[in-house]
């Protein structure tokens, strides 16, 4: 797991439950805006497992580093936080680093105790689709 993501995981895992919810809100604000080329989600994949409209795109450079794009409505801060966490923790990571992210990432972060199982499943689906796109990249 890339160092940036490992630090985020540790920060969440060691935080009290009420602080975890505040941290999620902070990460929901950290999602970079989409470039114009992805207007109307052109070329992005929707994650239907999410209750809210969630779109992602992973691009792999010739140097085998990953660039991530996410879109999720601001009215869905928990789901949007998944995008913020992955964006901050994985941006610029190598393909191998992204593929090595454990599938139970959100459980390791302690989110299963702070948010609904349905939301954790949505986050897990986001990670799975992201890893698939990177492996196909």
36-75: pLDDT as tens digits: 999 899 999 999 999 899 999 999 999 999 999 999 999 9
DSSP secondary structure of 33-94: PPPGGGGGGTT-EE-TTSSS--EEEEEE-TTSBEEEEEE--TT-HHHHHHHHHHHHHHTT-B
pLDDT score at 57: 97
What ranges do the domains of the chain cover?
A: 3-136
**DSSP code of 30?**
T
Q: What are phi and psi of 17, to 5 degrees?
A: -55, -45
pLDDT score at 46: 97
pLDDT score at 17: 86
pLDDT score at 128: 97
Mean pLDDT by 10 residues, the chain (137 residues): 95 93 93 92 95 95 96 93 96 95 94 90 96 94
Alpha carbon 32 to its chain centroid, in Å, reads 12
pLDDT score at 1: 86
Instruction: Judge contact between 84 and 109, C-beta under 8 A.
Output: no
Which residues make beta-bridge pairs with 94?
Answer: 65
Supply the pTM of this predicted model: 0.93
Does the 3-136 domain belong in CATH 3.30.300.160?
no
């Amino acid at each position: 797991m890339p160092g940036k993501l490992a630090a985020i995981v540790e920060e969440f895992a060691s935080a009290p439950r009420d602080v975890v919810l505040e941290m999620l809100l902070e990460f929901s604000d950290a999602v970079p805006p989409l470039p114009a080329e992805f207007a109307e989600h052109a070329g992005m994949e929707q994650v239907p497992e999410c209750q809210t409209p969630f779109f992602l795109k992973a691009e792999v450079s010739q140097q085998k580093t990953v660039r991530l794009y996410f879109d999720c409505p601001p009215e869905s801060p928990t789901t949007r936080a998944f995008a913020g966490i992955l964006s901050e923790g994985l941006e610029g990571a190598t393909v191998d680093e992204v593929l090595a992210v454990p599938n139970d990432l959100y459980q390791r972060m302690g989110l299963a105790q702070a948010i609904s199982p349905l939301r954790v499943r949505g986050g897990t689906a986001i990670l799975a689709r992201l890893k698939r796109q990177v492996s196909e990249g």
